[in-house]
Amino acid sequence: MLEISNLTHTYGSGPSAHNALGGIDLTVAEGELVCIVGPSGCGKSTLLRSIAGLLRPTGGQVVLNGSPVEQTPDNLAVVFQDYSRSLFPWMSVADNVSLPLRRKGMDKKQRKEAALEALEQVGLEGAGAKYPWQLSGGMQQRVSIARALAYRPALLLMDEPFGSVDAQTREELEDLTLRVRGHHNMTIVLITHDIDESVYVGDRVVVLSKAPAGIVGDLRVDLPGPRDQITTREHPDFVHLRAEVGRLVRGMRSQPASASQ
């Protein structure tokens, strides 16, 4: 459903040019949860912004559901890392969630119902009348997730979604993501720099190299479900995959036996 072919992007021109993406080819199937992991500053966000249509790449193409991405597609939602800058502080939580639904041609009542339903799914029933800044960081990120869910996107992009919350909240949000994914059968692309997280959450882990970013590994994660923070993380396959991804991220050659498939 998502096809990225030979995507390149260069910021600026001349001697000060910065080559962020060096030809990325990636295909994501419908219903898949793909984690993209790579060292900091490798161009992960540039890749995400190109998929979301927020940035026009200098070369290559992104095709979503058969049509090339030129502007922000209407069946795509993003959960950004920095919830405090992506939720609007002047709107209540319910208004934040229902604002994008205007585009879907829903009337006021429908929008409100959809917003309340999405808030319930993320465990925030009753918080609709509050303002984002009255909630904790983890709860604010739940609101962003609820906003994305209410929008019913075909593709959900998550940009370091749990990078700004504490470790325990992070685990809760990871499980929340796995749970809501089951409800909606969305395709999810999650960008992270946390190797454990990528293996724990993903069906597939794609590893990017340092800038200019290229794909250095594409590993299928076959862990027994449903995933659990304790048992999954001590499963031998998890430990093995984590080490493998770690090696790829650091730029070491992978072991031939477990090379990408």
Partner 1 sequence: MNRVLRAAGRLWAVPVVLVVWELVTRAAEDLSFPPPTTIAASMYEMWLTGPAERLWLTEAALENIPASVGRLLAGWLLAGVIGIALGIAMGRLPLLFRFLDPLVQFARAIPPPMLLPFFMALFAIGPRMQINVIVFGIIWPVLINAGEGARLVDRQHLDTARVFGLSRGQRLFQIILPSAMPKIFAGLRVSLSLALILMVISELVGSTDGIGFQLLDAQRSYDLPGVWGTIVVLGVLGYVLNSAFLAAERRVLSWHRAAKQTT
**Chain positions contacting partner 1, by CB under 8 A:** 49, 52-54, 72, 74, 76-78, 80, 82, 84-86, 88-91, 99-100, 102-103, 131-134, 147, 151
When the beta carbons of 147 and 227 are compared against partner 1, the nearer one is 147
- Tokens for 32? 């898949």
Q: How far is the CB of 9 from partner 1 (least distance, A)?
A: 16
Q: How far is the CB of 149 from partner 1 (least distance, A)?
A: 12
When the beta carbons of 99 and 216 are compared against partner 1, the nearer one is 99
When the beta carbons of 76 and 191 are compared against partner 1, the nearer one is 76
Q: How far is the CB of 191 from partner 1 (least distance, A)?
A: 14
Does a cis peptide bond (omega within 30 degrees of 0) precede residue 226?
Answer: yes
Helices marked H in 34-136? 44-51, 83-86, 93-98, 108-121
Task: Round to whole Å and give the CA distance between 22 and 8.
Answer: 5
Taking each continuous run of H as one helix and of E as one strand, the counts in the chain are 9, 10
210, 42 contact by CB (below 8 A): yes
When the beta carbons of 73 and 214 are compared against partner 1, the nearer one is 73
- Tokens for 157? 């992009």
When the beta carbons of 75 and 229 are compared against partner 1, the nearer one is 75
If we measure between CA atoms, which residue out of 206, 253, 233, 244 comes closest to residue 47?
A: 206
Reduce the DSSP state of residue 189 to 3 states and report it.
strand
Q: How far is the CB of 107 from partner 1 (least distance, A)?
A: 16
Q: How far is the CB of 139 from partner 1 (least distance, A)?
A: 12
In this structure, which amino acid lies at residue 126? G
